[in-house]
Structure 1
Amino acid sequence: MSEIRSYPRRVATEAGEIEVRLMSQADEVAVLDFARKLPMHDLLFLPRDISEPKVLAAWIKEIERGAITSLLAVKAGRVVGCGTLVRDPLSWSPHVGEIRNVVATEVRGQGVGRALTQEIFALALGVGLEKLLVQMTVDQTGAIAIFEGLGFKAEALLRDHVRDKAGKKHDIVVLGHNVAQVRAQMEAYGLPGAVQP
């Protein structure tokens, strides 16, 4: 198993320096404020509506239980992004993790999403996951580009898979990254440290 990352840590982005830190119950109000300012379409990245207090409370419980690890991107004391690694060691797929990211509109395209994604990716490697998945609506081209830049590839298209609050259905694309395969290829080329947290 790779080294476990420590937080908080500072990351330079085009939006300025952000602090990346672990989310806890103390962040509930700040995360709810962040979630309620997101465009409704962005919430379709997530399986549940995190702008609802009961959903956020359940999320905090999952963090405390250890099933979810969430990182917050904080700028000037305000949450501007959230990245989450979800895994279920009791399922048929304990080697697979899912990444979920959302970023405030005012810092998009400035490296905050990429920084969060890289941190979550490194956490996934640190806990020994072999495969990572991410899902989003097909029109989220910026987010798709970030994940493709990290080596994720399209694995599935789920038609009419989510319905927004207005009742409109949206297609979801599922991207996957076989971390174990990439790591094995790098080791075969004599680059064992190329895929590290």
Structure 2
Amino acid sequence: MNSTEMRSYPRHIKTDGGDVEFRLMGHADEAAVLAFARGLPVHDLLFLPRNISQPKVLSAWVKEIERGSIVSVLAVKDGAVVGCGTIVRDPLSWSPHVGEIRMVISTDVRGLGVGRALSNETFALALSIGVQKLVVQMTVDQTGAIAIFEGLGFRAEALLRDHVKDLAGNTHDIVVLGHNVAQVRAQLEAYGLPEAVQ
């Protein structure tokens, strides 16, 4: 994956939670992201394929970033990571045009516009790198996150019953939302607004 030919970082935004910087994640961020992940409620980690609060999982994540199959945007406030939006693609699969968004936000900044801003940024990044379709998955009780993505035009495509198991052995359903990004890009270009994704 080409990490952002059109989109530049860092970017600074103002939220109800204060000033937040968006920047691309790299090897130097590993310790800060690990600290962030370990501060998340375990339930928030369930919709991610792997437990990012484990150092070996985080190291593998960074290697995938370096390899180019993942691009991750960090939300940083007062020097600490408060959110992460990731786009995962597999260029060797039958679906090289599809990207999966994985996003987590610190409980400290929820309800303050950081999650919405990060989801918008991750979506714009997906547009800028040429993803044609996006999917996102989360547990069905994460109604706030579902509403954010529905606000971006995502629609439910699947319900996976008893798809993840928490540390106590309880199973949870996962909802998969999808969005035809290529259609959005075409509409922006038709209206003469290609700069909207830069």
TM-score (norm 2): 0.93
Change (3 A) 1:185 1:21: closer
Show structure 1 runs of 4+ deviating over 3 A.
182-187
Name the % identity: 73
Q: Distance in 2 between matches of 1:23 and 1:184?
A: 29
Q: Which residue of 1 aligns with 2:77?
A: 75
Q: Which residue of 1 aligns with 2:176?
A: 174
Q: Which residue of 2 aligns with 1:62?
A: 64
Residue deviations 1:94-130 (CA, integer Å, cap 9, x gap)? 1110001000001001111111111111111111111
Amino acid at match of 2:173: D
Q: Distance in 1 between matches of 2:131 and 2:112?
A: 28
Q: Which residue of 2 aligns with 1:191?
A: 191
Change (3 A) 1:122 1:65: same
Equivalent pair of 1:162/1:171 in contact (CA under 8 Å): yes
Change (3 A) 1:3 1:58: closer
TM-score (norm 1): 0.94
Where 2:197 maps in the other structure, the secondary structure is: coil
Q: Which residue of 2 aligns with 1:44?
A: 46
Equivalent pair of 1:45/1:102 in contact (CA under 8 Å): no
Range with bigger deviation, 98-107 or 113-122: 113-122
Number of residue pairs matched by the alignment: 194
Q: Distance in 2 between matches of 1:78 and 1:105?
A: 13
User: Structure 2 matches for 1:2-21, cutoff 5 A?
Assistant: 4-21=6-23
Q: Distance in 2 between matches of 1:110 and 1:90?
A: 38
How far off its partner does 1:159 sit? 0.2
Q: Distance in 2 between matches of 1:70 and 1:183?
A: 21
Structure 2: give runs of 5+ residues left out of the alignment: none
